[in-house]
Every structure is written in C-alpha cells, then in structure tokens.
Structure 1
Amino acid sequence: MTTPKLNLIFLFLFCSSFLYGQEINPGTAGLFVQDELKLIASDFGFSEGCSPDKQGNVFFTDQPNDKIWKYSTDGKLSVFLEPSGRANGTYFDPKGNLVACADAKGELWSINKKGDVKVLLADYEGKQFNGPNDLWINAKGGIYFTDPYYKRDYWTRTAKDMRSNDVYYLPKGAKQAKRVADGMVRPNGIVGTADGKHLYIADIGASKTYRYAIEKNGDLSGKQLLMEYGSDGMTLDEKGNIYLTSRNGVLIFDTNGKMIARIKLVHEPTNLCFSGKDKMTLFITARKAIYTLPMQVKGIE
C-alpha cells in the first residue's frame, strides 16, 4: 500500500516524464533528416564560436588550445589563427573581417583574411570586461556582444572589474561601447534578425531567452521573454526559426517561442551556424566535436 506522499512522488515523476517528452522530442518539423547528421571530427579542446564567410566556409574557435580553425566548403580542416587571444564567439563584419571575442584580455578583435589583428575594443570606461563571449553584427557594422563572467584558469587577474554581466553595443567606428541590456544572470548567446529590427539574447544563467526591438540609435527596447531556455550559441533560418544549443541537443523554436524540432547529438552542442555555398548546411560545434547536417531551409547569415 502506497502512502499519499509516495503517490505525490509518483505523480510528479509521471508528469515530469510526460512534459519532458513533449518538450524535448517534438520531431523535425520537416527541417532536416536526423540520420543525415555527420560527425566531422572529435579531437578539439572545446569547439565554439562558428561563423560562415561569404563563400560558406566556417571559422570556429577552440578556446583551450587558443586556435581559430577553418572548415572549408570542400570539407578540409586547417588552422586559421594561432594564438587567437583565446577567442570565443565570432562573426563576420560587412567587409569580410572576422570579429572575435578575445577572452584572454577581454577584448574585441577584428581579423582580416591574412590573419592580421586589430583591437577594436579593450575596456569599458577604463574597466576590463568580464569576458566578451558571443556577438552579432548588424548591416551597419555595429557590434552587439554579451559579457558574462566565467573565470578562466589562464587569466592572471584574480577578480573582475565589472559588477554585473551585461550586453553592450559598439557602433561602427566608435571607440567606446554602451551598455544596452542589463539585469541578467549570465547573458551568452546572441543573434539578430535579417531585417535588423530584433535581437535575441539568451540568459543562460537564468535559462531564458529574450527578444528585444532594436532602435535606430542601437539601443534596445521592449524586452520580451520568448523561451524558458537559455543557450550558449544561437542562429536563425530564413523562416525566422530560432536555434538554441542545450544539453538536450539543438532545440528549434518558431517566432512565437514554440519548440518545433530537436536535433539529437552525442556531444553537447555549444554553437551553430548555416554554412556551405547555398547556406543550407547546419554546422554545429559540440565541445570536443563538430558536426554538419543538411537542412531543408536556408540560414540568414
């Protein structure tokens, strides 16, 4: 005979299992075929920060090993830059320079095709950033980036200068960034819409993702909670679907924040982007591994 307390426990476990199944296994939504997922390599320290150039080649980071890698459209892997400033998130600007969150000294770097580095931003009002993590660049060349604090074993500093974990915007050509979003636990993944009207920011520390309206001066307004999930990296497809990385794989949501698909992986995904000459191959970094997956939809990048 079970007690009322045990009955409640069984009911909780049953409901949790049911909800978990409903939320985490919604299918493919006709966007991909799960069996076509391909493991490319699995010998990295921690793969992250992937971005496609105009030709569809992907550049991604391996922060523990201080490298930026290139995965070409013909399937070849090569080291693009070493050392890389412990680069984390990356994004190509309108001129074709690779902008990287250089975590070693809390900087933003611009890297040209030859691998020459220019420091775009080194501090905020004289204080060192926590550690620029991920970024998105609008059509004007303005840079939005998240700045969460993750203590690194390779840092020489012993304490952080910034009191909070916030989001900043660096207008094109500006020498100083401005804070555009605060009040988060640990902002991480970030991506903007193709029309430049909205910005998605994942607060991975609070397991939430928000949508903001982008004002003409670069400020953000109209904060809206869209998903009760955080994310390390993010991307969008041409339908406006939002791709988040989680311990349960890549989770795909529609523009209303409803989960519509999940990509299952052996390794935990960290970031992703659409790659290839037609921008119809999803490239996924997953800690020690990288994957590709043919898609039935194009990316916006």
Structure 2
Amino acid sequence: MSFFESLDPAFDRFVLGNAPVKQLATGYDWLEGPVWFGDAGCLLFSDIPSNRILRWTPGSGVTTYREPSHYANGHTRDRDGRLVSCEHGTRRVTRTEHDGAITVLADGYEGKRLNSPNDVVVSIDGAVWFSDPHYGIGSNYEGFAAPQELPCRVYRIDPLSGTLQVMIDDMNCPNGLAFSPDESRLYVADTGRMYEGDPQHIRVYEMRDGTPVNGRLFHTIDPGCADGIRVDSDGNLWSSAADGVHCISPEGKLLGKIFVPELVSNICFGGRAKHELYITATTSLYRITLNRTGVQFP
C-alpha cells in the first residue's frame, strides 16, 4: 500500500518511503484544531461535538486537557507560547495564560456578536488573526444554533490596544489561515459548503504594510475542499482534502498527496524537529514523518 501520490519530482524529496501514516487515536466525533506544544512534548486538539480539548502525549496517549471547551475549534500559540483558541459555543477568541486563567480577546464587533471563530494564526508582530464563518451557529452539533449577526470575515486583533479590525470581507466562508514564512502572503481557505454553489478554494493575499490586498484564487482542492492549511519552511502550502493532505507549491501547483483513510479537517507540524505532520481526520488522529520542516512556534 502506498501512502503517497507524487505529481512532481519535488514531492519525492518531501516524503519518506518507509514512514507510514500512523493512526495515533480514534473513536471521536469530529476532530479539529491540532497545535503542537514542543516545550511540553504534546499535541492539543479539539473534539468539537464532544465539547472538549484533548491532549496527545507520546508514550501516554490521549487525556482530556479541557472539558467543557465551549466547543473550541482551531488553536494556535502566540509569541509567548500561550494557547489561543476559537470557541464556537461562546462565539469568542480566548487566550489561556501561563497560570491557566482565560483571557477573552474578542467576542463581538460594533455591538454585535461574532459568528463562530474558526481558525487562528499569530503574526510576527503579535497580532491575532482569525476567521469567523457561521458553521458553529448553523446547528446545535458544533455549538448553539443562533441568528447570524455579522458577515463572515477575517479579523485582526491588535496586540497592543486589543482593537478588532476587519481585514478580509470579500469571501463567503473564510476558514483556514496561514502566513507564508516571510509573512509577505496570507493564505485563506474558503469552505462555503453550507449553500449550493458556494466557492470552495484557497485564496492568497499580498501583505502590504500589514494589510492583505489583491486577493486572488491560489488553488482549488480536488476532491473535497481546503479546511485547515499550514506552510513549511520553504513556503509550500499543505492542505486538508477529502482524500488526505495535499502539498501545493508557492506557485499554486499541486505537487503531491498523502492519502488518509478518513476525511481530513486540519493539520499541523510538530515533533522534535517540526518534521512530523499531525492530522485530524473525522474520528481519528494521525501522524506522518516528513522530510520537511514546518513553520511553527515556539
């Protein structure tokens, strides 16, 4: 059985023929939001419908990190190593301080509630960027069904003032976010799957003076659509897909695929050298060792 499909010779250098796609844990409802904590040697990830954040540790397996999690979805770490989370249930973005206290970073804009913050990244200046589609308020499965008060957008939280600013408002359902290694580009997945005919692709924006401009189509995943996305240190984009994980060059060319036996929701790089790709896929957590280094901090 082959775990890979190479569509470009470059991809052959990214994968290791004897490194399998390994299932680390299974039996969950809908996994999302993996984030690696290198200093603690563990991975955190969400089981959204079960309303909990889980922790996977090599040699020990899975334990519960937080329950309830307020139906948390995506996570990242800030420049000080703190956990930043998107919560569907409370419709907010939070930060877990080093002492365990929870700080609310954003829960509304201009007097209206956010929809259901989904994915989050932190830029080099410490600003928190997050997407806010409506998936968490569309039903009671991953949050609480509720009226939508704001358009689906990408926001930026200023690291000094805490001010919330609309950065992207020309997408249907912005979802996964990733900066290029030099932060000259911002990639955003649009997963408008709730309505027939909605776009399902990855857009790229040029960053100019801290603002995303000139948004354009970067790549369309097939089969399925992009949800979670990450970049490696050479600027290649890795994306979830219906058949696994796809690797896309900075020019938007599909280089190859990693096959996973379940629908993939999200991914992150981790491990001792940031060379392992962790994959949340419907009911299971997977890992594969790559010949690539991911952009992940700290």
Which TM-score band (shorter chain)?
A: 0.7 to 0.9
Find the partner of 2:284 among 267, 284, 289.
Answer: 289
Q: Partner of 1:17 in structure 2? A: none
Find the partner of 2:125 among 131, 136, 140.
Answer: 140
Q: Partner of 2:203 in structure 1? A: 210
* TM-score of the aligned structures, taking structure 2 as reference length: 0.87
**2:171 aligned with 1:184, yes or no?**
yes
AA in 2 matched with 1:172: P
Moved more, 34-43 or 242-251: 34-43
Q: Which runs of 5+ in 1 are unaligned?
A: 1-23
Using the TM superposition, give the Cα deviation of residue 59 of structure 1 relative to its aligned residue in structure 2, in angstroms: 1.2
Q: Partner of 1:15 in structure 2? A: none
Please list, as runs of the form range in 1=range in 2, the aligned pairs for 1:1-301 lying within 5 A after superposition.
26=7, 28-33=11-16, 36-55=20-39, 57-74=42-59, 76-150=61-135, 151-153=138-140, 155=143, 158-162=146-150, 164-205=151-192, 206-216=199-209, 218-229=210-221, 230-301=225-296
Measured on the aligned residues, the alpha-carbon RMSD in Å equals: 1.9
* Inter-partner Cα distance in structure 1 for 2:144 and 2:21: 40
* Inter-partner Cα distance in structure 2 for 1:285 and 1:157: 24
Tell me the secondary structure at the aligned position of residue 201 of structure 1: strand
Check whether the contact 1:96–1:112 (CA below 8 A) recurs between aligned residues.
no
Check whether the contact 1:167–1:180 (CA below 8 A) recurs between aligned residues.
yes
Q: Which runs of 5+ in 2 are unaligned?
A: 193-198
Using the TM superposition, give the Cα deviation of residue 114 of structure 1 relative to its aligned residue in structure 2, in angstroms: 4.5
Q: Partner of 1:4 in structure 2? A: none
Using the TM superposition, give the Cα deviation of residue 288 of structure 1 relative to its aligned residue in structure 2, in angstroms: 0.6
AA in 2 matched with 1:133: N
Identity %: 27
AA in 2 matched with 1:85: H
Counting strand residues as a fraction of each chain, which structure ranks higher? 2
Using the TM superposition, give the Cα deviation of residue 25 of structure 1 relative to its aligned residue in structure 2, in angstroms: 6.4
AA in 1 matched with 2:22: K
Q: Deviations over 1:32-84 (max 9, x none)?
A: 24661101111112110011124353211111111111222545322111111
Check whether the contact 1:54–1:96 (CA below 8 A) recurs between aligned residues.
no
Could you say if the C-alpha distance between residues 292 and 219 of structure 1 is closer, same or farther in structure 2, counting changes exceeding 3 Å? same
* Inter-partner Cα distance in structure 2 for 1:294 and 1:74: 17
* Inter-partner Cα distance in structure 2 for 1:168 and 1:283: 26
Tell me the secondary structure at the aligned position of residue 108 of structure 1: strand
Moved more, 146-155 or 115-124: 146-155
Counting helix residues as a fraction of each chain, which structure ranks higher? 1
Q: Deviations over 1:181-240 (max 9, x none)?
A: 112121111111222221100112212111112233x32112132102341101111121
Runs of 4+ in 1 over 6 A off after TM superposition: none
AA in 2 matched with 1:38: K
Q: Deviations over 1:1-44 (max 9, x none)?
A: xxxxxxxxxxxxxxxxxxxxxxx863753312466110111111
Q: Deviations over 1:222-269 (max 9, x none)?
A: 213210234110111112110111112111101100000101011111
